[in-house]
């Protein structure tokens, strides 16, 4: 969906994706699509985690040793 | 372009002038906002650019770890705006909301100036430099970098220091929650309600719709709002209200037990969902507060400079120098950020040049949050501010005494006004609720109710603000207890290797128990202290946090010398020196000051003398209490001495490294040079 204002065009769907991506990363979950593309491009022989497994893995990593550090 | 920047400089100078020179009449908060924004804009445009290009020589063609080690999980090249959001969410916490509120006892001006000057020359510089050196070292952690650049001994000393900071941080944050929730059925109910809400979200995100973070947070948010509304119903009902009324001591033990449980339970069940909720609530509330200030344009009622700069203030004891500079840590400079800047952010940076926007820029944004907190505290009538923040031992416990005492300081307030304010926010009493959260909540409720709902919604907004702070403090307590546990296992593992096994149930339990006992001890001590506890604990926390900042900046200075960029070393060395002077002076005064309100030894001497004379002094009710007070004094004293020793050792280690770097003609910095050709985004 494209919205035109101020003489420029904005791709609302892309903005929405960025918004979700930001929100996800704020709580420590990186972009799943980027992960899938990375594995496909660089490690085609490796097994790709499903979205569910990926989410669990990242959640555990955030609060595991060395993760989950936030400011006061 | 030159014209625009000149205009910004003039606008900033005029607003700062209005803020600084107004005497006797209240000043509009917008002046403060404009002054701050102009300072940030100029600092970002000029100083951070100077650091990026001259001092560090950021290289856009250099590969970052995100590309070189891309694994799609930890190392992921990330859009800079997305990463900015992540980094800001990680550095913004309760700190910038509490410090400025406490510092408001000296008037709004000292705090404002330190927040602005501190962030431009120390805080944002520290975050930026740490991020930069970590990016050039594979995104390694602060402790790791200290070990490799300054030696293994310095590494161990720094780790012990960081662990001690964690313990004090968790204690002081827990104390803030206790102060806000003690004898408040409304607040207690809403905080209890977060547990089932988080469980529900956790189950939803685990089994029903995994990876739908925003979706489950939205459900949580709606339930949370309902809980706040229902909390008002509970508080109005005498039977139910009694069920949810807890003393400070009860709350302390509940938090300790809770901290233990939450850090050994599976993270997806309660810790993670509450983290999501608190993160988004925090961002949302910060935006709402900013909008509120712009719409309501409140006036600051606190004088620019109050009489308490002389060190006799009731909120915390000690004079402007050095205590202002350790009271406001987060918001101007916070050592904790060095841990965040060397955590996940450097592993995701697409391009080195973006370290400027993310390191320096995000810290400016956090400083803006501190300015808003200062505004929220100073829009209150000063009389109400002091009634809320001065300890009961100083001002008394009923509205008549308190109003008389606070008015005698020159901040006129009537008992009726205090009762009315408590009623407006739906509480029985607002007296002596030190710790920043309640004051901020009253200030926020005044601002937000000016936008939406008027007086009728003030109680709702007050409890919304309390819940928002309690929620993310509790999340920090859970996550922090886990982090402290891993640190203990790592440190103790050096002596007893079996402790290091993080999959061993026994080792985990032992380390968690140790972590919880550590902060629990200081929390309990703070809760029973008649001077409110914040008095003792906040300065300890401030000293430790600024100490860590001094260590991080020292590391940055060492790296600059090793890079042979020492002509710019002042960028890191000047703030290091300032923080060292502040922490060491403050530490010295906390130990040796002859004033019992400031010095631990003087306080201990007063109690030993009383004990020898067979007298019992408040807060002690018995001889064994007296001994407990003495023990606390000596423990606090020892901890302060530990912090000071850590600073001195680390400064010494830093200077030694600088000397070695200078006497070597080569560049000795240990950067990671990826020999791969620069890879463009490979999808």
- Whether the per-residue pLDDT at B600 is higher than 80: the answer is yes
Can you state the angle between helices B505-528 and B248-264, rounded to 10 degrees? 160
- Whether the per-residue pLDDT at B300 is higher than 90: the answer is yes
- Whether the per-residue pLDDT at B594 is higher than 60: the answer is yes
CB B489 within 8 A of CB B511: yes
Tell me the β-bridge partners of B621: none
Mean pLDDT of chain B: 92
Task: Report the C-alpha gap between B323 and B168 in whole angstroms.
Answer: 17
pLDDT over 90, % of chain B:
76
Residues of chain B contacting residue A30, judged by C-beta atoms under 8 Å apart: 72-73, 76, 78, 348
- The residue among B7, B32, B5, B4 whose CA lies nearest residue B18 is B32
- In the DSSP assignment, the letter for residue A71 is -
3-state secondary structure of B59: coil
- Whether the per-residue pLDDT at B673 is higher than 80: the answer is no
- Whether the per-residue pLDDT at A56 is higher than 80: the answer is yes
Structural Rg of chain B based on CA atoms: 25
- Whether the per-residue pLDDT at A65 is higher than 70: the answer is no
pLDDT the model gives residue A6: 76
Mean predicted confidence (pLDDT) in B514-542 = 90
Identity of the residue in B82, B169, B272 whose CB atom sits nearest the CB atom of A21: B82
Yes or no, beta carbons of B682 and A41 under 8 Å apart: yes
- Whether the per-residue pLDDT at B132 is higher than 60: the answer is yes
pLDDT the model gives residue B680: 46
Task: Report the C-alpha gap between B547 and B315 in whole angstroms.
Answer: 22
Contacts for B28 with CB less than 8 Å, ≥ 6 apart: B297, B298, B299, B300
pLDDT the model gives residue B456: 84
Yes or no, beta carbons of B82 and A27 under 8 Å apart: no
Task: Report the C-alpha gap between B344 and B71 in whole angstroms.
Answer: 13
pLDDT band at B508 (very low <50, low <70, confident <90, very high): confident
Task: Report the C-alpha gap between B470 and B188 in whole angstroms.
Answer: 10
* Tens digit of each residue's pLDDT (9 = 90 or more) over B277-293: 999 999 999 999 999 99
- Whether the per-residue pLDDT at A72 is higher than 80: the answer is no
Least confident interval from B309-313, B453-457, B536-540? B453-457
- Whether the per-residue pLDDT at B678 is higher than 70: the answer is no
User: What ipTM was predicted for this assembly?
Assistant: 0.92
Tell me the β-bridge partners of B27: B300
- Whether the per-residue pLDDT at B683 is higher than 50: the answer is no
- Whether the per-residue pLDDT at B549 is higher than 90: the answer is yes
- The runs of H, that is alpha helices, within B593-667 are 600-612, 623-663
Nearest residue on chain A to B89, judged by CA atoms?
A26
pLDDT the model gives residue B262: 80
- Whether the per-residue pLDDT at B39 is higher than 70: the answer is yes
C-alpha dihedral, B440 to B443 to B446 to B451, nearest 10° = -70
What size, in residues, is chain B?
A: 683
CB B393 within 8 A of CB B314: no
CA B89 to chain A, closest CA, distance in angstroms equals 6
Mean predicted confidence (pLDDT) in B614-634 = 87
- Whether the per-residue pLDDT at A38 is higher than 60: the answer is yes
Residues of chain B contacting residue A42, judged by C-beta atoms under 8 Å apart: 70, 682
CA A5 to chain B, closest CA, distance in angstroms equals 21
CA B80 to chain A, closest CA, distance in angstroms equals 10
pLDDT the model gives residue A70: 65
Mean predicted confidence (pLDDT) in B322-346 = 93
Tell me the β-bridge partners of B137: none
Task: Report the C-alpha gap between B308 and B629 in whole angstroms.
Answer: 27
CB B585 within 8 A of CB B321: yes
pLDDT the model gives residue A71: 62
pLDDT band at B532 (very low <50, low <70, confident <90, very high): confident
Mean predicted confidence (pLDDT) in B294-315 = 93
> Global pTM?
0.94
CB neighbour class for B220 (10 Å; exposed up to 12, middle 13-18, buried from 19): buried
Task: Report the C-alpha gap between B468 and B440 in whole angstroms.
Answer: 11
* Tens digit of each residue's pLDDT (9 = 90 or more) over B239-272: 999 999 999 999 999 999 988 988 788 889 988 9
B145-164 as b/e: b if 16+ CB within 10 A: bbbebbeeebbebbbebbbb
pLDDT band at B553 (very low <50, low <70, confident <90, very high): very high
* Tens digit of each residue's pLDDT (9 = 90 or more) over B459-484: 999 999 999 999 989 988 988 898 88
- The runs of H, that is alpha helices, within B119-212 are 124-135, 142-150, 152-181, 185-203
- The runs of H, that is alpha helices, within B358-457 are 362-378, 382-389, 392-395, 399-408, 415-424, 437-451
What are the phi and psi torsion angles at B370 (to 5°)? -65, -40
Residues of chain B contacting residue A23, judged by C-beta atoms under 8 Å apart: 85, 213-214, 217, 280
Residue ranges of chain A whose CB lies within 8 Å of a chain B CB? 18, 20-32, 34-39, 41-42, 51-52, 54-72
pLDDT band at B118 (very low <50, low <70, confident <90, very high): very high
Least confident interval from B70-74, B182-186, B374-378, B453-457? B453-457
What are the phi and psi torsion angles at B619 (to 5°)? -80, -10
pLDDT the model gives residue B479: 86
């Amino acid at each position: 969906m494209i919205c035109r204002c101020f003489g420029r065009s904005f791709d609302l769907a892309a903005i929405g994706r960025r918004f979700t991506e930001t929100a996800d990363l704020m709580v420590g979950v990186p972009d799943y699509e980027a992960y899938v593309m990375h594995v496909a491009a660089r490690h085609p022989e490796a097994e790709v985690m499903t979205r569910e497994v990926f989410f669990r893995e990242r959640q555990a990593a955030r609060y595991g040793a060395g993760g989950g550090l936030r400011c006061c | 372009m030159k014209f625009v920047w000149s205009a910004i400089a003039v606008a900033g100078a005029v607003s700062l002038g209005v803020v600084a020179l107004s005497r006797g009449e209240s000043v509009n908060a917008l002046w403060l906002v404009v002054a701050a924004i102009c300072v940030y804009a100029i600092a970002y445009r000029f100083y951070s650019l100077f650091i990026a290009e001259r001092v560090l020589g950021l290289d856009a063609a250099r590969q970052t770890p995100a590309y070189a080690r891309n694994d799609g999980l930890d190392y992921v090249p990330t859009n800079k705006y997305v990463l900015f959001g992540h980094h800001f969410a990680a550095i913004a916490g309760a700190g910038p909301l509490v410090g400025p509120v406490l510092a408001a006892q000296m008037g709004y001006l000292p705090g404002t100036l330190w927040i602005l000057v501190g962030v431009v020359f120390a805080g944002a510089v520290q975050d930026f430099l740490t991020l930069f050196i970590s990016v050039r070292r594979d995104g390694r952690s602060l402790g790791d970098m200290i070990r490799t650049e300054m030696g293994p001994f310095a590494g161990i000393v720094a780790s012990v220091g960081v662990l001690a900071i964690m313990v004090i941080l968790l204690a002081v944050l827990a104390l803030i929650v206790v102060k806000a929730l003690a004898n408040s059925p409304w607040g207690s109910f809403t905080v209890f309600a977060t547990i089932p809400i988080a469980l529900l979200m956790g189950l939803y995100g685990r089994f029903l719709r995994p990876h739908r973070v925003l979706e489950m947070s939205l459900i949580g948010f709606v339930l949370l709002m309902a809980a706040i509304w229902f909390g008002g119903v509970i508080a109005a009902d005498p039977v139910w209200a009694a069920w949810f009324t807890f003393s400070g001591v009860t709350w302390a033990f509940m938090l300790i037990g809770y901290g233990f449980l939450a850090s050994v339970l599976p993270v997806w069940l309660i810790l993670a969902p509450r983290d999501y909720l608190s993160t988004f609530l925090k961002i949302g509330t910060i935006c709402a507060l900013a909008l509120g200030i712009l719409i309501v344009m409140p006036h600051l009622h606190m004088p620019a400079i109050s009489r308490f700069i002389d060190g006799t203030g009731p909120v915390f004891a000690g004079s402007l120098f050095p205590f202002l500079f350790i009271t406001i840590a987060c918001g101007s400079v916070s050592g904790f950020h060095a841990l965040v800047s060397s955590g996940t952010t450097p592993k995701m940076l697409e391009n080195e040049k973006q370290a400027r926007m993310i390191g320096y820029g995000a810290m400016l944004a956090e400083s803006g949050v501190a300015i808003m907190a200062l505004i929220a505290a100073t829009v209150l009538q000063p009389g109400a501010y002091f009634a809320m923040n001065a300890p009961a031992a100083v001002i008394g416990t009923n509205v008549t005494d308190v109003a008389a005492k606070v008015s005698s300081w020159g901040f006129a307030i009537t008992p009726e006004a205090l009762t009315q304010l408590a009623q407006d926010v739906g509480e029985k009493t607002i007296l002596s609720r030190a710790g920043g959260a309640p004051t901020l909540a009253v200030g926020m409720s005044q601002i937000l109710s000016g936008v939406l709902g008027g007086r009728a919604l003030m109680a709702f907004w007050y409890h919304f603000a309390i819940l928002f702070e309690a929620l993310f403090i509790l999340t920090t307590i859970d996550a922090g207890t886990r982090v402290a546990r891993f640190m203990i296992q790592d440190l103790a593992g050096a002596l007893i290797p079996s402790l290091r096994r993080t999959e061993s149930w026994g080792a985990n339990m032992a380390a968690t128990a140790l972590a919880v006992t550590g902060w629990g001890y200081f929390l309990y001590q703070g809760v029973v202290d008649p001077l409110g506890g914040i008095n003792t604990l906040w300065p300890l926390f401030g000293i430790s946090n600024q100490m860590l900042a001094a260590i991080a900046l020292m590391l940055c200075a060492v790296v600059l010398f090793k890079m042979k960029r020492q002509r710019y070393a002042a960028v890191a060395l000047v703030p290091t020196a300032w923080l060292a002077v502040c922490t060491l002076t403050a530490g010295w005064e906390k130990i040796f000051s002859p004033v019992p309100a400031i010095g631990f030894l003087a306080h201990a001497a007063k109690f030993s003398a009383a004990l020898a004379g067979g007298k019992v002094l408040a807060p002690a009710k018995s001889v064994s209490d007296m001994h407990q007070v003495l023990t606390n004094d000596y423990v606090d004293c020892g901890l302060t001495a530990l912090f000071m020793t850590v600073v001195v050792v680390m400064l010494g280690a830093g200077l030694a490294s600088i000397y070695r770097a200078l006497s070597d003609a080569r560049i000795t910095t240990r950067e990671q040079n990826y020999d791969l050709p620069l890879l463009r985004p490979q999808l």
